[in-house]
């Protein structure tokens, strides 16, 4: 399983999630986006709907059609839509993410210490491939580790 760490230094989570979501859907996968922060979830939802040609259909967990959603926004890591990819948009690592095929941990300056601790905790664990991504000043994502 792959765990990708994304350090948010230029763009906030609500701008990064749609990029990751679009790539996930292109790969033929479903996505679960986890955030316990209702305000952040609302911002992510709004960004996913932006653009008449490029909006990303999604739903909020707890609705009658969760299983049909290609992207499901939830406050916990329960993939009611059958997702195998998960984004922890609020910077909080959840061990349940290890049950997915791929996990993305988005973190900023306020959650960097927790992200570092998670990076160390996952080091050497069998079957886990870690990658660290950093955004340059122009907005391009570069793999740093």
* pLDDT per residue as tens digits for the range 9-35: 999 999 999 999 999 999 999 999 999
CATH topology of domain 2-143: Rossmann fold (3.40.50)
Phi and psi, residue 13, nearest 5°? -55, -40
User: Which among 49-53, 63-67, 136-140 has the top mean pLDDT?
Assistant: 63-67
- The span from the CA of 33 to the CA of 119, in Å, is 20
pLDDT of amino acid 108: 96
Confidence class for position 127, pLDDT limits 50, 70, 90: very high
Q: What pLDDT is attached to residue 34?
A: 98
Contact yes or no for 72/34 (Cβ under 8 A): no
For the chain, what is the radius of gyration of the CA atoms?
Answer: 14
Instruction: Say if residues 32 and 77 touch (Cβ distance below 8 Å).
Output: yes
If phi over 0 gives left and psi between -120 and 50 gives alpha, with beta otherwise, what is residue 28? left
- pLDDT per residue as tens digits for the range 3-16: 999 999 999 999 99
The structure's pTM equals 0.95
Cα–Cα distance for residue pair 21/56, rounded to 1 Å: 8
**First-to-final CA distance of the chain:** 16
pLDDT for the residue numbered 55: 83
């Amino acid at each position: 399983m792959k765990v990708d760490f994304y350090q948010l230094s230029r763009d906030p989570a609500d701008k990064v999630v749609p990029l990751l979501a679009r790539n996930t859907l292109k790969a033929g996968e479903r996505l679960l986006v986890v955030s316990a922060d209702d305000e952040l979830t609302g911002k992510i939802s709004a960004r996913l709907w932006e653009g008449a040609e490029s909006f990303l259909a999604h739903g909020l967990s707890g609705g009658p059609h969760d299983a049909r959603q290609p992207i499901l926004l939830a406050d916990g890591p329960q993939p009611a839509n059958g997702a195998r990819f998960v984004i922890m948009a609020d910077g909080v690592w959840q061990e349940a993410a290890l049950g997915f095929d791929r996990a993305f941990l988005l973190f900023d300056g306020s959650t960097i210490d927790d992200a570092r601790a998670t990076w160390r905790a996952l080091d050497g664990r069998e079957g886990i491939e870690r990658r660290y991504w950093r955004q340059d000043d122009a907005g391009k994502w570069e793999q740093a580790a």
